[in-house]
A and B are shown apart, each in its own frame.
Chain A
């Protein structure tokens, strides 16, 4: 790293609290009556200081900050300000750093938008999820469609950039329902100075969620895979036509409007996680390591207060794991996995560990498109990426590593 320019790292900050838990969500979110916000602010800043100190060089460049959750818009703007300040003190915060906050579109939260902007947040990601009240209720959301539209309007006015999320392929939804809703969404996302980004996720049934249980009981009937696939195809076409092509499986943006923080994950760049349950991929003592914090808010808080950080010991990632992760993340992107980035992260050239012969079937089948500078999944391949990755992982040729004894 000595002679190279610091590529920088992305910093993720997790606020684990929600007003209520949505029945489809399996993220690390918790409902608590009272949150000692000052104490949480101290703990988050303490962990930032600790993370900066364990890195190989001082004051590394931070290119983006992302407040995720939970519901970080429930956090007082002063906490966001303290966190951003701490990052600016312990890292070199880039002048053009992208600072995103996830928010729920309730009127109460919309009221704090200006406070967050003043704290330094320059991009808002709004969890709209649906544009009709019936589906919002079914998804367990606490806001109405009208509230969401008002909040979006406020966000687009207040922040330089704003995006919103929708969940589709809902039980009972038809292709036509979705066509109408997406048309409306594209109109909303494509206008306004700060617009130009849209995240469209298909509903999944994750273990441990009330929706998962309901599906098992038969109380919820998920959409047929073929219908969901038709919706996915429709989504690609409509977004493309509206000037918001997919740059990742579920993310669409006008050129230049992509979320840089998330792009860094998918390009397998370095990132730090702050807060309970946050994950990081950091270069420590010359090796790329996985860093993971305690999931439980209380356990994390106690750990930070006693030893400065809430993480479990970092785990070194071997070459095969790095190669698999680089593929898993990179093939989600329309641009694919860059050969140069892949080699930098794994230490092996892409063409060596995945020779064209090993992926001939997938190329012939139209799932992968090889290029001189890397490997890309086609639109068809991105639709079935998990299966494609299974095939690729099975044919990865990585020489056995000699374990490093330190």
Chain B
């Protein structure tokens, strides 16, 4: 019955008063996907036989890591207690800081948010950042305390914590269990009662926000939109206002969560458009879509082109996989235009790609997808940030790769990106966390408490964070610290390039840009690590760290003294042959530095290890 009425409503155009657009803000593991599943089920979006856990997270990696990478949406048809039928559009937003801009666009497509907090864990740093984004987007926020079915749940304490830390009135927080469904009906009712309906004019020139896009093997590029004014329908010529491109609409529709075509998308509605767009890279999150024949006078505000923040080299562990890696990267980019890659070659690691990412998690996700979905074994060089170099001749360049560091005499100033970071941590680990931030050149901005949890704000240079900061933070806090950051401008820094030389030849893959005061310690650490990793050879091998021509740390791998088969028995040459063949095979994976051959594995291990 509800289906028929929904269909009628679609056919007859949308009624703004019966639409509610909302997002769910939650920390990983706090139950966002489970709640989405429950909402879909209670609104009859899927038969129970079609339900599988975490319907919206379509990629394996999203389901496993409990994170959302692409924005997704689902229209719920909900008959409220007042008897009226509403379209509730759930916008499932990417859940990580690397996608902060994507999150902001998803939030901009909604009028309200559910702040979903685990009733035993409480608010985490990442939740905090997103909820502030929602407040900035003028969202009405409904607080839901989840997992109240668990014995460890302390809804009262968490309510207080939300008031202390977030500063929201939590008196109307709704206790729920997304797992059992308890309280979810109340939540649905609150969505209808408390969230404002969207506004917009049907007769105005079309204006829609491009929220996200992805590549579908059957439909081509699918664009997720939120219509503000006017109507999008099949056959219409649409213009992307920032990109300047024009396309003819082939389909419009909604997700129920199944893909369902509709006649049109009107004001306040969230849905999809396909328009024979070749590549995801042709669409830009935050762009405004308008009618080419009757364009809107002004685009929606807040468009930003996506800019990679973190760079690293990706090399195939087996050089024969280079072409496969290139094809795999191209296929991933079909669906994710926010990362960039170009060919790079390194004497130590062979041919590979220099890749740019929105952040560290983004890097990890791409790396993991390449290894898992494309079955590639990769070597990842140390991540590096984008430096701005002011040259003596007055020009300015961006540096994405330490290898490209120009002659120091031509550099006037080096600027590095800084971040503003929020760390939440139980107070017993606070000391260790503060020490870590200080060691990483951090400047403390704020320190407050909520119960026994501390909330610390620091300004930190991003290059100190990309270098194993997460791992160290996890380890010093035994996994209890949560962390979030946003970029906070560029500043001059005393930065130098440290080169690592093996047998007097530079190993480009290991060179790094580092603060002058930390250069010696970092250089020494790498030399010591390499000394342990490189097997002794016939000749002694010097390992040096140097700034320009000045050596700042040195280790020597002494020559091997003994490597001989003691007994060659009874004419069994084949036994010795096996040894020789093994050595010959090993040599194929070696990289030659002068007259020494270093197993590629040594470089890989040097790159994979953390600071300790």
Contacts and interface: CB of A to CB of B under 8 A. Distances in A.
Interface of A: 10, 12, 14, 27, 66, 68, 201-204, 225-226, 228-229, 232, 249-250, 265-266, 271, 273, 278-281, 290, 292, 321, 324-325, 328-329, 332, 361-362, 365, 367, 382-391, 393-394
B571 interface: yes
B562 A384 contact: yes
B538 A384 contact: yes
A281 to B, nearest CB: 7
A391 B538 contact: yes
Contacts of A391: 538
A389 B574 CA distance: 15
Interface in B538-590: 538-539, 560-574, 576-577, 579-580, 583-584, 586-587
A202 B562 CA distance: 11
B269 to A, nearest CB: 65
A229 B571 contact: no
A393 B564 contact: no
B570 A393 contact: no
A388 to B, nearest CB: 7
Contact of A27 (B536, B569, B574): B569
Contacts of A390: 580, 583-584, 586-587
Interface of B: 536-539, 560-574, 576-577, 579-580, 583-584, 586-587, 595
B584 A385 contact: no
Contact of A68 (B564, B570, B586): B570
A258 to B, nearest CB: 15
A362 B563 CA distance: 15
Contacts of B580: 324, 328, 386, 389-390, 393
B602 to A, nearest CB: 16
A278 B573 CA distance: 11
Contacts of A278: 570-571
Contacts of B595: 361
Given A225-B562, A361-B595, A389 B583 contact: yes
Contacts of A325: 573, 577
Contacts of A10: 571
A12 B570 contact: yes
6 contacts: A250-B567, A273-B571, A382-B564, A383-B563, A383-B564, A387-B537
Contacts of B572: 279
A139 to B, nearest CB: 14
Given A14-B570, A279-B573, A383-B561, 20 more contacts: A12-B570, A201-B567, A229-B561, A265-B568, A278-B571, A290-B573, A324-B580, A325-B577, A328-B577, A332-B568, A382-B564, A384-B538, A385-B565, A386-B564, A386-B580, A387-B560, A388-B538, A390-B580, A390-B584, A394-B587
A296 to B, nearest CB: 16
Nearest to A329: B573
Contacts of A281: 571, 573
B580 to A, nearest CB: 6
Contacts of B539: 361, 365
B574 A271 contact: no
B564 to A, nearest CB: 4
A394 B584 contact: yes
Name the prevailing secondary structure of the B interface residues.
loop
A329 B569 CA distance: 11
Contacts of A328: 573, 576-577, 580
B207 to A, nearest CB: 68
Given A332-B568, A365-B539, A389-B583, A384 B560 contact: yes
A384 B561 CA distance: 6
A386 B564 CA distance: 5
Contacts of A225: 536, 560-562
B571 A249 contact: no
A365 B566 contact: no
B573 A385 contact: no
A361 B559 CA distance: 14
Contacts of A362: 538
Contacts of A389: 580, 583
A367 B574 contact: no
Contacts of B571: 10, 12, 265, 271, 273, 278-281
A12 B536 CA distance: 37
A267 B598 CA distance: 33
Nearest to A292: B574
A225 B564 CA distance: 11
Nearest to B587: A394
Contacts of A14: 570
A266 B562 CA distance: 20
A249 B566 contact: yes
A258 B471 CA distance: 62
Nearest to B565: A386
Given A279-B572, A279-B573, A386 B583 contact: yes
A177 to B, nearest CB: 18
Given A384-B560, A385-B563, A386-B565, A324 B570 contact: no
B173 to A, nearest CB: 55
A201 B570 CA distance: 15
A250 B561 contact: no
Contacts of B569: 27, 68
B596 to A, nearest CB: 10
B565 A383 contact: no
A259 to B, nearest CB: 12
B469 to A, nearest CB: 35
A233 B451 CA distance: 68
B562 A229 contact: yes
Contacts of A27: 569-570
Contacts of B574: 279, 290, 292
Contacts of B560: 225, 384, 387
A385 B564 contact: yes
A189 B576 CA distance: 29
A279 B577 CA distance: 13
Nearest to A199: B567
A394 B572 CA distance: 22
